[in-house]
Chain A
Amino acid sequence: MSGVLSGSGRLFRLALRRDWVRMLVWVASLGLGTAAIALTFIEIYSTAEAKQAIIVTMASPAGLAFTGPAHYLSDYNDGSILSHQLLGFTAILIGIMSVLFVVRHTRTEEEAGRAELVRANPVGRYAHLASALLLTGVANVALAALLAVLLPLTGITALTWTGSLIFGAAHVAVGLTFAGVAAVTAQLTQSSRGANGLGIAAVGGAYLLRASGDAAQSDLSWASPIGWAQQSFPYLENRWWPLALNLLAFVALSALSMALSARRDLGSGMRAPRRGRASATSMLRTPLGLTLRLHRGMLLGFAIGLGLLGMSYGPFLGDIETEFSDISFIDETLTAIGGETLIDAFLTMLMTIIAVVAGVYGVMAVLRARSEETSGRGEQVLGTLQSRTTFLANHVIVAVVGSAAIILLAAALLGVTGQPTVDQPVIGKALVAAVIHIPAMWVLIGVATALVGWAPRATVLAWALLGYAGFVGYLGRFLQLPEWAGRLSPFSWLPGYPAEELTVLPLIVLTLVAAGLIALGIVGFRRRDLDTA
């Protein structure tokens, strides 16, 4: 087979030309965000007592599950605090970034039919894959370079050049591994949505593996590419060799993806498409039925993912009760929001994270209306008797109901798997905590709907808000953000039940805000032009 890589360089340049802004935004926000957090950490943990307190907090299964291996705690300096607490979280973002980039330049190109036009030229069979991997590699290396230079320049003495180089390299390692994963998932599924979904599920799976492994201090973390990266212990051991595992995985997965791509037709997945029904069921004939059908796969995927998340944290509830009971730091921070027991505080924190992930689903579900619109299918549907209100409202209804359903499912599973390990009743608490988060999640859905209605080109703002809410939910409590900064996240307005007393007023207000935003979005959607390309 001659020239299977021909044209890769030209495709890479095309990809770079299309995506340099996107790349810059990812790299700059991850790089600068990390540097900013480093500067915040040094203030928070400036005293020996603060450092001691955080060590004690982190030396619990829950603390480790949220961060990384316990070995970091053996020397918790300004550098290892950063790499311990941040790398696991950033790894998720880098993983998602890499998956999105690879799929965007492989499966999406095929799905859109552009790959066919391109491949009719002297362009090799692997050129799309190679250029996508190269582009993603460049994005990751750029991030690593930025970190390796920026962090020592912060003036924090613990952030050494060597440590920062390893820290940056750990980011590339994770990014490359998930680029490889995405290269494979792009061969498996026929849709880019599916390839992205599988790829991001792999990122989530890797995170859960390392979370369970670190919490139990078992070798399970070694099954996770994120775990390998954390085993490099930047600013502590500065080990290179675990990163070689990531690199090996990248090479193996890339080779696998190319082998798979040679065994399939352009545009198809690994499985031949099944035949479907010749005519629509009576359910599918209703507008809501059609919408539900479009959302089915994604809803199921998120339900399974969040269900697993709930189940994997449940068993640790008991550990928290026993091991956290006399930690002073927890009293200062987590119980700063009030609360009776540590489990309550933990539940509150975990539910925020689950709610953010459910919010990801909600926003994606609303934006599905937008992608239906730009694909031209929306035009087709709206050309029938279906009104614009019904069209958008149906997607929003699925988002509103679906996101609430999956958060309740996750809470139920968390409660059920956690109950055997603790004395107090937690199932009910978890469910109530979930219910409380629903209105805030709906506000996110409302923001997305309003954007679809009034500023369809700016729907990325919904993601920005969600990302911010996730950031505040995950790290905000450690970071001691200023009051106003925390308040930008809709979740911060919730009563912190069960840690705090249950107040109903904020819930009503948030629900009304969400409803208002949704109504606003639908009004806007009725007034503006359809955007068919």
Chain B
Amino acid sequence: MSAAITTRGLVKTFGPTRALDGLDLEVDQGVVHGFLGPNGAGKSTAIRVFLGILRATAGEARILGKDPWHDAVDLHHRLAYVPGDVELWPNLTGGEAIDVLGRLRGGLQDKRRAELIERFDLDPTKKGRTYSKGNRQKVAIIAALSSGADLFLLDEPTAGLDPLMEVVFQDVVRELKSQGKTVLLSSHILAQVERLSDTISIIRRGVIVQSGTLLQMRHLNRTHVEVRTHRPVDDLHTLPGLHDLRREHGAWVFAVDPEHLDATMSHLSGHGIDTLTSNPPTLEELMLRHYGDELSHEHLGEARRA
């Protein structure tokens, strides 16, 4: 199976700003790929390069096997996009805007259009200038999803949607996946990506710092452990690979690196485990490790190897 999106050393600068700084990204066909990163990490820039509306400064990108800058028009027959900030024509109604965008593609699937308007509870008779952010986003989502494209580039598509609509959106994305479509879903909302994505890339300052399946990523990261033992353990701090060790309500609480999990557990069971809760790292923690804490070089290196 060929990849839907491949980039090699993609660089995009805006004057002094390096928005993409050697981006290597690989998204397989038929998957939902979460594209995760904090504000300003370069998600939108990357997606705009994939669309061929920004020209990469250096590096290479192939979208569905084509060059996004030179083959933009061809490519766009098979691709649909929802921008993070949707702006509509103030004097056109939402329904008209959907049709205008559809006609630019050479037509929409009318049944699908009607169904999506219904599901997203959009009033298509209101003028663009009177729509809220969420409603403008719905217009772009409906136009994109009624298009029959193979690849969907969705840039923080639900930032303005209420929780109810977000559920509808998740259902729709799952349907796309079941039809074998590819979805690139950018977000800084972790829960959303976690729930929908097969694979995930984390971008920071224009570089992918981690990439893989959720499982792989969890494996690469620390597990949180809260443990009570029959016999007191007082030598935990001597064990390698333990972090944030502290006592809380008579239990030991710490995080442990994946490669030291086994040894730590053996050590603990030697003292008779009474209760043990362990939590896989959430994406929140993955993010915190990469962006929240002061990053040591060692950690960055570790992440890159991933």
B86 at interface, CB cutoff 8 A? yes
**A533 to B130, Cβ gap below 8 A?**
yes
**A114 to B15, Cβ gap below 8 A?**
no
Chain B neighbourhood of A125, CB < 8 A: 72
Chain A neighbourhood of B51, CB < 8 A: 116, 119-120
A31 to chain B, nearest CB (A): 25
Q: Mark A106-123, 1 if CB is under 8 A from B, else 0.
A: 000000111011111111
What is the bound-complex CA distance between A113 and B14, given in angstroms?
A: 18
What is the bound-complex CA distance between A275 and B85, given in angstroms?
A: 23
Q: Mark A1-29, 1 if CB is under 8 A from B, else 0.
A: 11110110011001000100000000000
Residue ID in chain A nearest B71 by CB atoms: A2
Residue ID in chain A nearest B12 by CB atoms: A265
B106 at interface, CB cutoff 8 A? yes
**B87 to A272, Cβ gap below 8 A?**
no
Residue ID in chain A nearest B131 by CB atoms: A533
**Which of B72, B87, B153 has the largest number of chain A CB atoms within 10 A?**
B72
**A113 to B83, Cβ gap below 8 A?**
yes
Chain A neighbourhood of B91, CB < 8 A: 18
A266 to chain B, nearest CB (A): 4
Question: Known interface pairs A18-B89, A274-B15, A533-B130. Does A120 touch B81 (Cβ–Cβ under 8 Å)?
Answer: yes
Question: Known interface pairs A120-B80, A533-B130. Does A18 touch B92 (Cβ–Cβ under 8 Å)?
Answer: yes
Could you tell me how many residues of chain A have their Cβ less than 8 Å away from some Cβ of chain B? 32
Chain A neighbourhood of B140, CB < 8 A: 117
Within 8 A of A (CB), among B82-139: 83, 85-92, 100-101, 103-106, 129-131
**A272 to B15, Cβ gap below 8 A?**
yes
Chain B neighbourhood of A118, CB < 8 A: 101, 104
Within 8 A of A (CB), among B148-169: 153
Residue ID in chain A nearest B73 by CB atoms: A3
What is the bound-complex CA distance between A122 and B81, given in angstroms?
A: 11
**Which of A114, A120, A266, A272 has the largest number of chain B CB atoms within 10 A?**
A120
B36 at interface, CB cutoff 8 A? no
**A113 to B87, Cβ gap below 8 A?**
yes
Among B13, B74, B86, B104, the residue within 8 A (CB) of A3 is B74
A268 at interface, CB cutoff 8 A? yes
Chain B neighbourhood of A274, CB < 8 A: 15
Among B80, B87, B130, the residue within 8 A (CB) of A114 is B87
What is the bound-complex CA distance between A118 and B51, given in angstroms?
A: 11
**B73 to A2, Cβ gap below 8 A?**
yes
A273 at interface, CB cutoff 8 A? yes
Chain B neighbourhood of A116, CB < 8 A: 48, 51, 53, 83
Question: Known interface pairs A2-B71, A18-B92. Does A122 touch B106 (Cβ–Cβ under 8 Å)?
Answer: yes
Question: Known interface pairs A113-B83, A114-B88, A116-B83. Does A121 touch B76 (Cβ–Cβ under 8 Å)?
Answer: yes
**B76 to A120, Cβ gap below 8 A?**
yes
Chain B neighbourhood of A18, CB < 8 A: 89, 91-92
What is the bound-complex CA distance between A197 and B244, given in angstroms?
A: 60
Chain B neighbourhood of A10, CB < 8 A: 103-104
Residue ID in chain B nearest A266 by CB atoms: B53
What is the bound-complex CA distance between A53 and B64, given in angstroms?
A: 75
**A7 to B54, Cβ gap below 8 A?**
no
**B73 to A112, Cβ gap below 8 A?**
no
What is the bound-complex CA distance between A3 and B72, given in angstroms?
A: 9
What is the bound-complex CA distance between A138 and B217, given in angstroms?
A: 59
B70 at interface, CB cutoff 8 A? yes
Among B48, B73, B105, the residue within 8 A (CB) of A124 is B73
Chain B neighbourhood of A265, CB < 8 A: 48, 53-55
B77 at interface, CB cutoff 8 A? yes
Question: Known interface pairs A114-B89, A266-B53, A275-B16. Does A121 touch B105 (Cβ–Cβ under 8 Å)?
Answer: yes
**B76 to A123, Cβ gap below 8 A?**
yes
Chain A neighbourhood of B83, CB < 8 A: 113, 116-117, 120
**Which of A117, A125, A275 has the largest number of chain B CB atoms within 10 A?**
A117
Residue ID in chain B nearest A19 by CB atoms: B91
Among A1, A6, A121, A533, the residue within 8 A (CB) of B70 is A1
Chain A neighbourhood of B53, CB < 8 A: 116, 119-120, 265-267
B196 at interface, CB cutoff 8 A? no
What is the bound-complex CA distance between A3 and B77, given in angstroms?
A: 12
A278 to chain B, nearest CB (A): 14
Closest 8 CB pairs of A and B: A272-B15, A120-B81, A3-B73, A113-B87, A121-B104, A533-B129, A266-B53, A122-B76
Chain A to chain B contacts (Cβ below 8 Å), 19 pairs: A7-B73, A10-B103, A10-B104, A112-B87, A113-B87, A114-B87, A116-B53, A117-B81, A117-B83, A117-B87, A122-B76, A122-B106, A123-B73, A123-B104, A125-B72, A266-B53, A266-B54, A272-B13, A275-B16
16 new A-B contacts at CB < 8 Å, known A117-B86, A121-B105, A122-B104:
A2-B71, A2-B74, A7-B104, A11-B104, A14-B100, A118-B101, A118-B104, A119-B72, A120-B76, A120-B79, A120-B81, A120-B153, A122-B73, A123-B76, A124-B73, A265-B55
